Amino acid sequence: MKEEQKTSHEIHTDFSKELSYGSYLQLDNILSSQHRLSDHHDEMLFIIIHQASELWMKLILHEVSAAIDCIRKNDLEPSFKMLSRVSRIQQQLIQSWSVLSTLTPAEYMEFRDKLGHSSGFQSYQNRLIEFALGQKQSHVLSVYKHDADLYKKVEDALHERSIYDAAISAMAMRGLPIDDAALNRDWSAPYEPNASVEEAWLTVYRNVDQYWDLYELAEKLVDIGSQQQLWRFNHMSTVERIIGHKTGTGGSAGVSYLKKVVDHRFFPELWSLRTKL
């Protein structure tokens, strides 16, 4: 009993002049940012799922950006921890769809009209993630023209090298022959598969001991690409479950659009080489 009292007395309780848990995390700001536009109970679920997803996306961008810097400096090993963390974050995002799927079609229809034309399609962080992974689409910039600062942020990202471009350059720095078309291309254009890139990755996979760090990088990218596809598939499935084939609130074709997105493959040569090994 005395030991319990001693432990209790050691707990700090006066935060009038010190940093507390809530103030460090700015919980007042975070937890007061859920503003329902309807009186429907389930709108709170809808808001929190999307807000939490945006926080996870912010961390993905933080990790991927740092990983790209490491790869461009030819210091690959620190990037492995960052990319492993990204794939774990992606698992959290994938799981979030199962929570959102508890929202039934009838429930969603009770507040869907309050959303106007706002849509997940407009998530600039999701767009930045896709750009960082190599899926560049210049036409999507028009969605952000209402905000000059945001437009510039997304436009700048469009013209930056993706993590896959950085990985290809890393292979070239190691002496693996890569076509100039793959090394000095328009970074804002969608990546197109290149035979020399596939051959370089095949060399890496056939000589793991010699190119262990490039091999490990490749497998980390495959992990991320796979998780991104799962996230997209679960997104599409959840949307179909809740709204069927209705047009999206942002004007997209809804499920039909999402099914086309699922067909896109990140890091194509890392998949095609598997057939040739």
Question: Annotated binding residue at 121?
Answer: no
19 domain-assigned: no
Model confidence at 119, pLDDT cuts 50, 70, 90, reads: confident
What are 188-238's pLDDT values in tens digits? 999 999 999 999 999 999 999 999 999 999 999 999 999 999 999 888 888
Dist. CA 165–CA 267, nearest whole Å = 10
Total structural domains within the chain: 1
User: How many C-beta neighbours within 10 Å does residue 60 have?
Assistant: 24
CATH number (domain holding residue 46): 1.20.58.480
Residue 97, domain member (yes or no): yes
Residues 6+ apart with CB under 8 A from 263: none
Task: Say if 45 falls within a structural domain.
Answer: yes
The verdict on whether residue 249 carries a ligand-binding annotation is yes
Query: pLDDT (tens digit, 9 = 90+) per residue, 22-70?
Result: 999 999 999 999 999 999 999 999 999 999 999 999 999 999 999 999 9
Give me the domain span that covers residue 50. Answer: 41-117+163-275
pLDDT digits (tens, 9 = 90+) for 57-96: 999 999 999 999 999 999 999 999 999 999 999 999 999 9
Q: Is 47 annotated as a binding residue?
A: yes
* Helical axes 77-100 vs 212-243, angle rounded to 10°: 10
Tell me whether residue 49 is annotated as binding.
yes
> Does 2 have pLDDT greater than 60?
no
> Is 72 one of the annotated binding-site residues?
no
User: Model pTM?
Assistant: 0.91
112 a known binding residue?
yes
154 is a domain residue: no
Work out the pLDDT band at 274, boundaries 50, 70, 90: very high
